[in-house]
């Protein structure tokens, strides 16, 4: 947990780049506060110079003065709010960009441990909370605190005795507000956790919509959603109690202060120590103090909300970043070697890869086969360093990939996964994802080689169609061909293919296979294979079993020597 001081310094750091806007906001806050003071100030001459002596000659200019004060004050408040909001939305924007940038640098291993819903909640809710609270708190702090100071000065000037008397309530007020703020802190933490669960749940439902429908789990999910919503509702209600409670305390204390002033004030007037004008001016000032005080108490409460948001975002900012080596690798010349590699997933105790030794010469096509869960995908995911081995090393041309510059290492590799992600971009941008500066001719050329051109040109906006918009979507086979076109355009020397387990229709399958043929030409390919044809034509077949390499060889060799291979191979024919 971070302390209030740390949170305060954090906020200062956040608003520092906007200092000129903050200065403008403070200037307008000061003007508004002074004008609030002017209202209380003018009560005295109104009483002592106009009403009591019944001298009404000033009364003509008074309405004009009142209009001037109110209009100027409203304008000053408008401008200070505008500048402060500009600060808060500006810092919200840069915070979101910073956290997105951070997410892109976090190792895959750390992100895969968290749910995407939780991440979305942190990026949207927590930055949103910081954005609004920092704006509100700073705005309230500058405007209301200044107003309180101006009003206290006026009260002291009018009658220090009466003012000091009302000060009795302030320590009690501060003590109670602080107690409430402490209580809300934990509740806010819970609320933000619940919000993250909520987003996670919604995310899951939308991603697994087909399963929900087919397994007819609408009622079950609705009940769960109802439970989550009720928990959120109850938490919100608790927070409302605390928030409104703090306002109630201020109102109660203002009542006590008012009674004290009336009681002692009438005594001072009777003794001619103060004039009725002094009394009413002070009375107005003290009454006016409580509204900004109420806002300050609420802002103090929100400051705790902001601390919770900062804490949760800091957890992401504290995540480690991918460690890159320094040796740049320009070309792949010789081979890829796995040497005595062991691996377990972060947070899990199960060793999923054991004693892996594998040499893949340049230009070879390697098929990795094995039962589900035998470690095939894990094995290939170590090469682009999505994860690092627990023990052992992986080398490219004899160099440990850990000491290679990560960018240059990944430059050598393209991946076509089982489930392709098509981003919310145009088809052309999706294809040029790995080569953003590609020309349109190059993109079309790649699409043609991936057997995607024909269906792309039939889309209403052709290569400029944005998938996901206006209801356009692609079939599984079409998505795979886009992924293949993406890899063709990138044209790296090493390919990692994870063959889709779900079978496409025969025509689509034929196109995908042809596209893969084009893609593999002249490349070193590691393919997590599920198809008989793919396996048969591989230069080397690696048979995985329970995280170990059971056997390595060609189809003909393994057919004779490896029982496991025979079983697997039989199941695919
Ligand atoms: N992110 C993860 N965290 C923890 N364990 C994991 C993770 N991903 C996979 N595993 C475990 O690692 C083992 C190997 O999984 P892997 O996905 O590599 O197998 P696979 O042979 O590719 O399976 P499939 O053919 O079903 O894709 C399995 O026991 C799996 O439960």
Enter the ipTM.
0.96
Residue 210 in any domain: the answer is yes
Contacts of 538-542 with C-beta under 8 Å, sequence gap 24+, read 538/365, 538/366, 538/367, 539/364, 539/365, 539/366, 540/360, 540/364, 540/365, 540/366, 540/367, 541/366, 541/367, 541/369, 541/565, 542/358, 542/366, 542/367, 542/368, 542/369
Residue 323 in any domain: the answer is no
For the CA atoms of 211, 212, 216, 220, what is the dihedral angle to 10 degrees?
140
Distances in Å between the alpha carbon of 195 and those of 124, 186, 199?
A: 10, 14, 6
The pLDDT, as a whole number, for residue 412 is 93
The Å distance, Cα 468 to ligand 1 centre, comes to 30
Q: How far apart are CA 383 and CA 381, in angstroms?
A: 6
Domain boundary among 255, 289, 317: 317
The Å distance, Cα 369 to ligand 1 centre, comes to 13
Same domain, 372 and 272: no
Same domain, 270 and 342: no
With a 6 Å cutoff on the Cβ, whether 533 touches ligand 1 is no
With a 6 Å cutoff on the Cβ, whether 112 touches ligand 1 is yes
Same domain, 63 and 189: yes
Residue 329 in any domain: the answer is no
In the predicted model, residues of the chain with pLDDT beneath 70 are 112-115, 468-472, 500-509, 572-573
Residue 264 in any domain: the answer is yes
The pLDDT, as a whole number, for residue 126 is 82
Same domain, 313 and 342: no
Domain boundary among 317, 349, 371: 317
Residue 434 in any domain: the answer is yes
The pLDDT, as a whole number, for residue 501 is 56
Same domain, 366 and 431: yes
The Å distance, Cα 527 to ligand 1 centre, comes to 16
Mutate-to-test residue for ligand 1 from 377, 527, 548, highest number of ligand atoms within 8 A of CB = 377
Q: How far apart are CA 488 and CA 520, in angstroms?
A: 9
With a 6 Å cutoff on the Cβ, whether 529 touches ligand 1 is no
Residue 303 in any domain: the answer is yes
- Model confidence over 234-291: pLDDT tens digits? 988 888 888 788 778 877 887 888 888 888 888 888 988 888 888 888 888 888 887 8
Residue 307 in any domain: the answer is yes
Same domain, 361 and 425: yes
Domain count, the chain: 2
Same domain, 272 and 412: no
Q: Which residues face 394 on adjacent strands?
A: 338
Q: What is the CATH number of the domain that holds 425?
A: 3.40.50.300
The Å distance, Cα 415 to ligand 1 centre, comes to 18
Domain that holds residue 485: 335-572
Q: How far apart are CA 222 and CA 205, in angstroms?
A: 10
- pLDDT above 70 covers a percentage of the chain that reads 96
Same domain, 370 and 308: no
Same domain, 418 and 448: yes
With a 6 Å cutoff on the Cβ, whether 17 touches ligand 1 is no
Same domain, 295 and 360: no
Same domain, 340 and 244: no
Q: What is the pTM of this model?
A: 0.73
Q: How far apart are CA 337 and CA 491, in angstroms?
A: 22
With a 6 Å cutoff on the Cβ, whether 386 touches ligand 1 is no
Same domain, 289 and 183: yes
Tokens describing residue 72: 């100027």
The pLDDT, as a whole number, for residue 531 is 80
Q: Give the 3-state DSSP-derived string for 495-531, with helices as H, strands as E and coil as C.
A: EEEECCCCCCCHHHHHHHHHHHHHHHCCCEEEEECCC
The pLDDT, as a whole number, for residue 162 is 86
The pLDDT, as a whole number, for residue 113 is 67
Q: What is the CATH number of the domain that holds 306?
A: 1.20.1560.10
The Å distance, Cα 113 to ligand 1 centre, comes to 13
Residue 330 in any domain: the answer is no
Domain boundary among 250, 285, 317: 317
């Amino acid at each position: 947990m971070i302390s209030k001081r740390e949170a305060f310094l954090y906020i200062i750091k956040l608003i520092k780049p906007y200092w000129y806007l903050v200065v403008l906001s403070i200037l307008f806050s000061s003007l508004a506060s002074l004008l609030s003071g002017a209202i209380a100030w003018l009560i005295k001459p109104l009483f002592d110079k106009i009403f009591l002596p019944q001298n009404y000659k000033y009364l003509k200019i008074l309405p004009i003065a009142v209009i001037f004060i109110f209009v100027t004050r409203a304008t000053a408040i408008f401008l200070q709010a505008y500048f402060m909001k500009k600060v808060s939305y500006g810092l919200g924007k840069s915070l979101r960009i910073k956290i997105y940038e951070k997410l892109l640098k976090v190792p895959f291993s750390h992100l895969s441990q968290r749910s995407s819903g939780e991440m979305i909640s942190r990026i949207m809710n927590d930055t949103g909370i910081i954005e609004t609270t920092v704006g509100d708190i700073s705005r309230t702090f500058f405007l209301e605190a200044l107003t309180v100071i101006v009003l206290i000065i006026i009260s002291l000037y009018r009658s220090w005795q009466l003012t000091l008397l009302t000060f009795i309530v302030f320590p009690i007020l501060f003590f109670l507000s602080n107690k409430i703020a402490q209580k809300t802190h934990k509740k806010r933490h819970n609320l933000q956790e619940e919000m993250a669960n909520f987003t996670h749940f919604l995310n899951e439902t939308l991603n697994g919509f087909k399963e929900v429908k087919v397994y007819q789990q609408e009622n079950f999910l609705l009940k769960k959603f109802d439970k989550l919503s009720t928990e959120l509702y109850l938490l919100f209600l608790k927070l409302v109690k605390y928030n409104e409670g703090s306002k109630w305390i201020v109102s109660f204390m203002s009542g006590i202060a008012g009674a004290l002033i009336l009681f002692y004030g009438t005594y001072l007037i009777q003794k001619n120590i103060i004039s009725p004008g002094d009394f009413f001016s002070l009375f107005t000032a003290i009454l006016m103090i409580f509204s900004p005080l109420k806002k300050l108490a609420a802002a103090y409460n929100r400051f705790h909300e902001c601390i919770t948001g900062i804490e949760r975002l800091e957890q992401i900012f504290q995540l480690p970043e991918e460690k890159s080596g320094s040796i740049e690798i320009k070309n792949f010349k010789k081979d890829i070697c796995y040497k005595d590699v062991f691996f377990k997933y972060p947070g899990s105790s199960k060793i999923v890869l054991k004693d892996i030794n594998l040499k893949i010469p340049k230009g070879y096509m390697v098929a990795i086969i094995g039962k589900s869960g035998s470690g095939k995908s894990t094995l290939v995911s170590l090469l682009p360093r999505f994860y690092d081995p627990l023990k052992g090393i992986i080398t490219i041309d004899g160099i440990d990939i850990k000491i290679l510059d990560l960018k240059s290492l990944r430059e050598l590799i393209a991946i076509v996964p089982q489930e392709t992600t098509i981003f919310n971009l145009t088809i052309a941008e999706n294809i040029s994802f790995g080569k953003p500066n590609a020309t349109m001719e190059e993109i079309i050329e790649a699409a043609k080689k991936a057997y995607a051109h024909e269906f792309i040109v039939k889309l209403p906006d052709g290569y400029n169609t944005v998938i996901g918009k206006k209801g356009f979507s692609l079939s599984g086979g079409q998505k795979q061909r886009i992924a293949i076109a993406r890899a063709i355009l990138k044209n790296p020397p090493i390919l990692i293919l994870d063959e889709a387990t779900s079978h496409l229709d025969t025509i689509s399958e034929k196109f995908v296979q042809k596209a893969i043929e084009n893609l593999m030409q002249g490349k070193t390919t590691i393919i997590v294979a599920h198809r008989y044809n793919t396996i048969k034509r591989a230069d080397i077949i690696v048979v995985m079993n329970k995280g170990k390499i059971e056997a390595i060889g060609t189809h003909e060799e393994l057919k004779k020597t490896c029982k496991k291979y025979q079983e697997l191979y039989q199941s695919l024919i």
